[in-house]
Amino acid sequence: MQWAWIVLVILSLLGAVFVAKAVVAPVAFSLFLIAMIWPLQSRLQARVPRLIALAISILVLVVAFSAFASLVVWAFGRVGRWIIFNLNQFQALYNQMTLWLENHGIVMASLWADHFNARWIVSFLQTLTGQVNTTLSFWLVVLVYVILGLLEVEGTARKIRSLPSPRAARILLAGSAETAFKIRRYMIVRTQMSVLTGALVWAFAMLFGLPLAEEWGVIAFTLNYIPFIGPFIATLFPTLLAMVQFETWQAVIVLFACLNVIQFVVGSYIEPRLSGSVLAMSPFVVLFSIFLWTFLWGLPGTFIGLPITIAILTFCAQDPATRWLAVQFGPPDEADLPAPARSEG
């Protein structure tokens, strides 16, 4: 009966998070960004007035995100223009595939006529425009939360220390500090691996003679911030381009295989050794958290899902009553188990 109540509470919380996406998602992203930018804010305000330190921190944050967004727009825009310019080649490839499928009893012409017509294209462009406007509004709200949050970090910490329950205060303070450290470590390692992946994809595309080599490197760099799903998409896009660029299927298969080898070596061999036990987590939990939060929040959930899971397991590890959850959903090796709860003082 107790487990039934626990499941009911979890499902109720997830339902509330889903319904209140417009309110909760910006708060989650703002807490993520505050964890990232707080060390800079703390060092700056020790030397200059707090408002000046806040202005510098926000400027650094805006510049970093603007540069990242510009890279994404540049790379995907160049690829999109290349596809439009070579649309006839894609049409010819589609005709070949349709003919081959029809010879094997699979009819594709009706599917293309029903779903890929002028009305569908107009609807897609309208949806894309609406999504851009929604994204800009979303990040504006997040920025406001970040500014207010950076001003209240120290005051919130003092309020937590004054709680009547020392146990609750210890869990909140230790869990928050440990979560912020792990998120920063996660982003540092993820950025290093994204740069390495982008450089390797660019170099391989250059050697292979694939058009838009720089753009594929940038796309691999940006999509690598989304575990599992991002790297797969980063290998799928250039493979589709190679299907119209090269004459043989063998070349396309070799390209796809080599890109996946790059992603596998970086993601499964190099990255775990750099991150160590700080971010150790069951691969099943990583994948499940990505799909769960993508279902709840869409594309923003794809990115923020893993940091949210890191935070949940970190807080669970701070108290003996819930540490078993961190152990069960942690790494399979005992040496990588989460650290036990820290005592005060």
Quick: pLDDT tens for 69-113: 898 889 888 888 887 787 777 667 667 666 766 666 665 555 554
Determine the Cα–Cα distance for residues 279 and 234; give it in Å rounded to an integer: 24
Cβ atoms of 28 and 310 closer than 8 Å: no
Residues 6+ apart with CB under 8 A from 185: 275, 278, 279
Q: Does the pLDDT at position 124 exceed 60? A: no
Predicted confidence at residue 208, as pLDDT, reads 85
DSSP letter assigned to residue 335: G
Confidence of residue 282 (pLDDT cuts 50, 70, 90): confident
Residue 131's pLDDT band (boundaries 50, 70, 90)? low
* pLDDT band of 132, cuts 50, 70, 90: low
State the average pLDDT over residues 55-65.
Answer: 94
Residue 193 has pLDDT above 70, yes or no: yes
Question: Is 336:188 a contact under the CB 8 Å cutoff?
Answer: no
- Give the pLDDT confidence of 283-307 residue by residue, as tens digits: 778 888 888 998 888 888 888 988 9
Rounded distance between C-alpha atoms, residue 195 and residue 205, angstroms? 15
Neighbours of 133 (CB within 10 A): 10
State mean pLDDT over 34-50. Answer: 93
| 326: nearest Cα among 291, 279, 294 | 279
What number is the average pLDDT over the span 257-285? 76
Structure tokens at 19: 């319904």
The values of phi and psi at residue 332, to 5°, are -70, -20
At residue 278 the predicted structure's pLDDT band, cuts being 50, 70 and 90, is low
Average pLDDT over residues 53-58: 94
pLDDT at 224 over 70: yes
Structure tokens given for 64: 């970093």
pLDDT at 336: 47
- pLDDT digit string (tens) for 152-192? 998 999 999 998 988 889 999 999 999 999 999 889 988 99
Instruction: List the beta strands (DSSP E) in the chain.
Output: none
Least confident window among 14-18, 49-53, 144-148:
14-18
Q: How many CB atoms lie within 10 A of CB 198?
A: 23
Band (344; pLDDT cuts 50, 70, 90):
very low
Locate all alpha helices (DSSP H) within 86-165, ordered by sequence: 87-103, 109-115, 118-161
CA–CA distance, 232 with 106 (Å, rounded to integer):
27
The whole-number average pLDDT for the span 120-143 is 68
Give 118's pLDDT tier (boundaries 50, 70, 90).
Answer: very low
Distance separating alpha carbons of residues 208 and 23, to the nearest angstrom? 47
Residue with more model confidence, 128 or 281: 281
